[in-house]
Amino acid sequence: MRALVDGATHVLDEAGVPSPRVDAVALAAHALGLARLELALAPDPAPEGFAPAYAALVDRRRRREPLQHIVGEAAFRYLTLAVEPGVFVPRPETEVVAQAAVDEAVRLAAAGGAPLVVDLCTGTGAIALAVATEVPAARVVAVDASPSAVALTRRNAAATGAGDVRVELGVVGGPGLLADLDGLVDVVVSNPPYIPPDAEPVDPEVRDHDPDLALYGGGVDGLDVPRAVIATAARLLGPGGLLVMEHAEVQDAAARDAASATAAFVDVETRADLTGRPRMLVARRSTDGRVEGSQA
């Protein structure tokens, strides 16, 4: 077994896979039907039929099919979420975005409230379900423009025991999106598409497998959808509500400008991800009720 994993690691390393050893072990666990594999405790010799099944999985990863698509799941914070082709795979850097939303919901729940949290562009439901499971008092609404993402989020909500999570199909910035929640929301959080049209992702796992709908933000700077998120948040948030939105590290100034351009937001700031890169817009809804510049 160890020799097979060592060989797979070499194959994946030569193919440019960023974490060849981790992926080789994960694929071996998947082939064995295990949640994880400790090589020191692995069956040796390998069970009959394991080697060809494992080789087929390694070949798929060698050709840069995402590991998450091969094993059918992805870890996000404390959750294991089902993933599938056609729906954006959640990334570890987005866990920091979820943390900001969780922290605000925890603060409001500790004060005796039942915070209302909206996750726009939810994908697999990662952020929405993290909030729902980590802050049981929260009421959570998840929205995505993809029917496949909406269906997957509903399945993940049921599988994770997230409770009563409302999942809606809708386009951010579309007329009447969540109109029943205008001015009532405590937290709007989003990891929207934000890649500019001329900035093709380098990693094949992203470029060739994540859907364009979840990658490219529209407009020459990729910020059409993020601006729609900001405008929609200005409409949905009640006074003092919080907006948290992921963006590319080169978009921090433009994202702050977009939030500041509407009088709806105060305390507009950029926060860093775990590597210190500016990746998150955080802004507080003003208390005077103005929503100048909003078109959502």
Residue with tokens 């394991």: 50
- What is the four-CA torsion angle of 115, 120, 121, 124, rounded to 10 degrees? 10
Is 193 labeled as ligand-binding? yes
> Exposed, middle or buried, 253 (CB in 10 Å: 0-12/13-18/19+)?
exposed
Was 144 annotated as part of a binding site? yes
Contacts of 47 (CB under 8 A, 6+ apart): 32
Sign of CA dihedral 192, 196, 202, 208: positive
State yes or no: 156 annotated in a binding site.
no
- Amino acid 12 reads L
Exposed / middle / buried, residue 21 (Cβ in 10 Å: 0-12, 13-18, 19+): middle
Establish whether 54 is an annotated binding residue: no
What Å distances lie between residue 83 and 93, 124, 156, 193, 207, CA to CA? Answer: 17, 7, 9, 18, 17
How far apart CA 291 and CA 296 sit, in angstroms, is: 10
Q: Which residues are annotated as a binding site for S-adenosyl-L-methionine?
A: 144, 191
Annotated binding site: 144, 191-194
Q: Provide the annotated binding site for substrate.
A: 191-194
